Structure 1
Amino acid sequence: MLLAMVLLLVAGCGGSAPAATETPGSGNEPTPNEGEQTEEPLNLTIMLPIFKTNYPKDGSPVVAELEQRTNTRIHLEWVPNASYTDKFNITLASGKLPTIMYVPDAKASSFVSAAKSGAFWEVGPYLKDYPNLSQANEVILRNSSIEGKNYGIYRGRVLGRNGVVFRKDWLENVGLEPPQTIDDFYNVLKAFKEQDPDGNGKDDTYGMVLVKWTGQWASGFDIMKLWFGVPNKWGLQDGKLMPEHEFPEYVEALQFMKKLYDEKLINADFAVMDSAKWNDPIVNGTAGVIVDVVDTAARIDDRIKAAAAQEGKELPEGEHYMDVVGAVAGSDGQLRTLPTSGFAGMLAIPKSTVKSEEEFKRVLAFLDQLNEPELQTLLGFGLEGTHYTLEGEHVVPVKDTVLLESEVEGLNQMLTFIPMDQGRKVKQTPLRIKQEEVQKANEEFIVSNPAEPFISTVYTQKGAQLDNIINDARIKYIVGQIDEAGLQSAFQVWRNTGGSELIEEMNELYSQAAP
């Protein structure tokens, strides 16, 4: 007992307590151990789109690692991408909002109305206080703004991202070269339907797979229509802004799509096909082409290679199943490509959920921290040793696609890539190198939207209804439910429902913005 008392006395004199002359804040107080959290974890609910039927769950390994590194507790609300806009609007109307909410279209009427009424924090004045967010691109900030104010953190993307993704092995089997014109493109689709490109002796393939979405996320049609000379949403006609569907080239593009449908060169269920399954027909060997972002080629290629490896089939080093081209030339020989706006939606912070400025700043700090290279790598590829290995400086994902889907894929939807993608990269195969080359080359042929910066009051109020009129007519025309007269009738309904007011207002905004 005496020995124990001596030991306690010695421990008490160990110098761990501050001297009597020390005062809090003097700089002499003890500092937390490295990695020790000094604040309670920040509770976050994050609503994101998902493109697969399987997705990371709360507390799964990568999410748990993210929580540990950022001192947070995270609940993920996953919404299928194909129905995200509907769910977004329902959630917005309910008033029960998450902490961070992915906004698919920064100019959608529902979001614009909510933002202007004060439902979301304005982030612009705070960006300067964060090391990564302070480097946001001014052009993209302007593109994503509402009347010059930013109500979310944009998710940065490459401008020249869109193109044609196709099965390279199929193209070689039918003896064709990569398409350079619209006619070449049609011939490829026809050959993929009629010439047994997979060599199995069965009539079980078709040309191109399409899905139902349109709008902020470019569908195949949104990209392809520019090949025909259709403007990007709005175009100039005799010095006046006019909507894309009132140009004759728009009908020409629809006639081409109808031809593809009639000849069964595209999937008959395109109008209802879930975008979460967009890549499946390519991987499964039933379709040969997707018109989408060109970087989807490498993702599809990885899936095909993984499936082939399970069957004992391996391609030689440097070979790949997929290939890409940028835009194909129209009848006038011109190349045109649909650009992104430099961002793919944004992450907004609702005031009804994040009530204090102090909490708002912590949420911004979390989004800023996600741009650190280590966290970009974590959310893009998962945990080293579990989801990927390193080959030099390059990431080599494991071949277990089920593991990747259930623990990694989709988490990158919360990344904003500001100022840029700084995480580790997969090994730069010839296909990935070509993807980057195509994206860079595309920038020369970008067709900009002259009305991009404008916020229309009419569109804020009636935009969803007006868009539905055109989208419904487009689908009905392609599948043969209406003829060209019916299409023109729908265009007139669009004008009568508010389209004429929209044209007038957009031209007023355009004239005010003119130098």
Structure 2
Amino acid sequence: MNASFRRQVSWMMTTVVSIGLLAGCSGGTQPAAGTGNNVANKTDDKKEVKPSEPVKLQFLVPSFADVPDMNDQYWTEWQKRTNTKLDVEWIPSGDYDTKFDLVLASGNLPEIIVSQSTTRPTLLSAIKQGAFWDLTPFLGDFSKYPNLKNNSGPNVWSYMKADGKIYGLPRNRPQIDLGIKFRKDWLDKYNIPVPQTIDEYAAALKKIVSSDPDGNGKNDTVGILGHGFLLADGDGTFLGAFGGLDPIFDKDGGLIKETLTPNYTQMIEWFRKQYADGILSKEFSAIKKTQAEELFATGRAVSYVRNIWRDYTWEQDIKKVQPDAKVITLPPMKGPGGYTAQLANPTFGGMYISKKVPEAKVKQILDYMEKTTTMEFTDFNYYGIEGVHHKVVDGQPQLTELGVKQVTTNANQVFSLAFNNKMKVLNPAAPKAYNDEKIKDTEIYSKLGKLSLFGNIASDTWTSVWPKYEKEWQAMATKAIVAQISMDEYKAYVDKLNNNADIKKAYQEFAKTYKEYFGNAK
């Protein structure tokens, strides 16, 4: 089975794939406990080779679920197959960037640290100061690392570079990921068709939130839910509808940062109306991710932008309090400049190796990443051990109760994964028919979606200058949305920033990097 074919069918694990999981990848893995007739156990006339001592690896990573027990069945098997002993510090995802910055400032780095963005200013500064290994000479032409080369996402190794050198290891993720969730049962309740445009979307929300859909008599249902600033994960999705995911250049040929484009200002004006109509959450600028998740999962919100795979999980959660609940991801909706479809970066930041790690250990870390960047390990990461974490139903693995508990999204955090565009669509706890339909419904995203440019390109000037203005800009944008200032005042403020000499210089640097990564800038 070649890599291309495995990508197409990895979500549909058959008995053959299960055997593949046990047999391991080209780098060699340990057989699963309880495996019977496995060639790895046959010695023939050769002496059995004693396994080497497990490699100890120290990580600092974000946590998107409950902190796992590294001695449970899943993690015990993972460490057995990879011949490692993992020392992982799990930081709640909402607090991770703060912790990341503090660790960099302290200089007390773990062996491997995750950055959720390859362009984070503190990361780029640390790279310049020599905090991390330049991996370019280790990786070379990738002849020793074919899995890292062939099973990584499109163009990701370009994104791992700073000043032309590779410093990071990718965290491969699908490009079809985020979508606008909506309570389909409430659309049906008020005989509203599925919105096809953002105007229809706004009208549907206005009708629902003004009608006490949960029947609690309080009229307190949130229309559009977000977390952080502005909607955090949801910004790019809505910005796509206004054409803000396209490269926008100033009169001097500089590439304008997306938040300061006329398109983003147009989106701010649209959210201003939604706020005035009681659709956008009144606390939109202060809600934390965990709070937002709780609000949606308990049936107190209509719409929320998050990973598509969460639809099934949250639908089951909401059914506990609202039995008729049905959660869907809306199809890409048309706006004045495009569609509500943002493709995710094919890498969610990167993993960086501290320069304090000895050279020999760097090679061990790269060997671990090479060994695990396969569909076999990615499938194991998604479903765990057959008969323990999942059972195969209608040709598709379904997580058991233990699987739901142990095989969480946190399992993704300690290796690169193999690129697979269906991973954030499929829900391993959902029935096969549900997943099949979800894949079919979301194929359109790959056709209409666009990539956010600034997840991959950087400017030294922007890195040093923007922190001086960021909080002020956020405050002005918030004031514009809640009508504490006029849109003309906000636009004048943005114009002032765009005419700042340092910011204009940053735009020139963005244009240069854009050309390097994406071709001609014009």
Contact 2:228/2:285, CA 8 A, preserved across alignment: yes
The corresponding residue for 1:128 is 143
Distance verdict in 2 for CA 1:455–1:204, change over 3 Å:
closer
From 75, 96, 104, the counterpart of 2:108: 96
Using the TM superposition, give the Cα deviation of residue 254 of structure 1 relative to its aligned residue in structure 2, in angstroms.
0.8
Using the TM superposition, give the Cα deviation of residue 407 of structure 1 relative to its aligned residue in structure 2, in angstroms.
6.5
Contact 2:272/2:481, CA 8 A, preserved across alignment: yes
Using the TM superposition, give the Cα deviation of residue 507 of structure 1 relative to its aligned residue in structure 2, in angstroms.
4.3
Contact 2:344/2:452, CA 8 A, preserved across alignment: no
CA deviations on 1:412-469 (whole Å, 9 max, x unpaired) are: 2334232447999836645433443354312322345567764422123234445444
Using the TM superposition, give the Cα deviation of residue 495 of structure 1 relative to its aligned residue in structure 2, in angstroms.
5.0
The corresponding residue for 1:416 is 416
CA deviations on 1:303-332 (whole Å, 9 max, x unpaired) are: 445x47xx9x6x8xxxx8221223211146
The corresponding residue for 2:5 is none
Distance verdict in 2 for CA 1:470–1:383, change over 3 Å:
farther
Task: Give the letter for the 1:462 counterpart.
Answer: V
Contact 2:383/2:407, CA 8 A, preserved across alignment: no
The corresponding residue for 1:290 is 304
Q: 1:295-314 counterparts in 2 under 5 A?
A: 295-304=309-318, 307=320
- Determine the C-alpha separation between the residues in 2 that align with 1:446 and 1:81: 26
From 347, 355, 369, the counterpart of 1:351: 355
Contact 1:188/1:207, CA 8 A, preserved across alignment: no
| 1:505 pairs with 2:474 | no
Distance verdict in 2 for CA 1:347–1:209, change over 3 Å:
same
* Worse-superposed segment, 296-305 or 59-68: 296-305
Task: Give the letter for the 2:225 counterpart.
Answer: V
- Determine the C-alpha separation between the residues in 1 that align with 2:385 and 2:250: 53
The corresponding residue for 2:362 is 360
The corresponding residue for 2:166 is 150
The corresponding residue for 1:186 is 202
Q: 1:376-415 counterparts in 2 under 5 A?
A: 376-399=378-401, 404-405=404-405, 408-415=408-415
| 1:328 pairs with 2:333 | yes
Distance verdict in 2 for CA 1:368–1:192, change over 3 Å:
farther
Distance verdict in 2 for CA 1:277–1:149, change over 3 Å:
farther
- Determine the C-alpha separation between the residues in 2 that align with 1:496 and 1:104: 29
Cα RMSD (Å) of the superposition?
A: 3.4
SS at match of 1:236: coil
How many residues are paired up?
467
Structure 1 length normalisation: TM-score?
0.79
SS at match of 2:114: strand
Task: Give the letter for the 1:369 counterpart.
Answer: K
Q: 1:3-42 counterparts in 2 under 5 A?
A: 31-33=47-49, 36-38=50-52, 40-42=53-55
| 1:115 pairs with 2:127 | yes
Contact 1:477/1:484, CA 8 A, preserved across alignment: yes
Using the TM superposition, give the Cα deviation of residue 381 of structure 1 relative to its aligned residue in structure 2, in angstroms.
3.6
CA deviations on 1:449-498 (whole Å, 9 max, x unpaired) are: 56776442212323444544433432333234444355346432575483
Using the TM superposition, give the Cα deviation of residue 46 of structure 1 relative to its aligned residue in structure 2, in angstroms.
1.6
From 259, 262, 267, the counterpart of 1:253: 267
Q: Which runs of 5+ in 1 are unaligned?
A: 1-28
Contact 1:298/1:432, CA 8 A, preserved across alignment: no
- Determine the C-alpha separation between the residues in 1 that align with 2:279 and 2:230: 20
- Determine the C-alpha separation between the residues in 2 that align with 1:128 and 1:355: 22
Using the TM superposition, give the Cα deviation of residue 81 of structure 1 relative to its aligned residue in structure 2, in angstroms.
1.6
Using the TM superposition, give the Cα deviation of residue 121 of structure 1 relative to its aligned residue in structure 2, in angstroms.
2.4
Structure 2 length normalisation: TM-score?
0.78
Q: Which runs of 5+ in 2 are unaligned?
A: 1-44
- Determine the C-alpha separation between the residues in 1 that align with 2:420 and 2:223: 35
The corresponding residue for 2:71 is 59
Using the TM superposition, give the Cα deviation of residue 56 of structure 1 relative to its aligned residue in structure 2, in angstroms.
0.7
* Worse-superposed segment, 110-119 or 180-189: 110-119
The corresponding residue for 1:3 is none
The corresponding residue for 1:8 is none
Using the TM superposition, give the Cα deviation of residue 184 of structure 1 relative to its aligned residue in structure 2, in angstroms.
0.8
CA deviations on 1:350-378 (whole Å, 9 max, x unpaired) are: 122x222x211211222233334453344
Q: 1:162-173 counterparts in 2 under 5 A?
A: 162-173=178-189
The corresponding residue for 2:223 is 207
Distance verdict in 2 for CA 1:70–1:431, change over 3 Å:
same
- Determine the C-alpha separation between the residues in 2 that align with 1:92 and 1:483: 40
Contact 1:163/1:294, CA 8 A, preserved across alignment: yes
Rg comparison, structure with higher value: 1
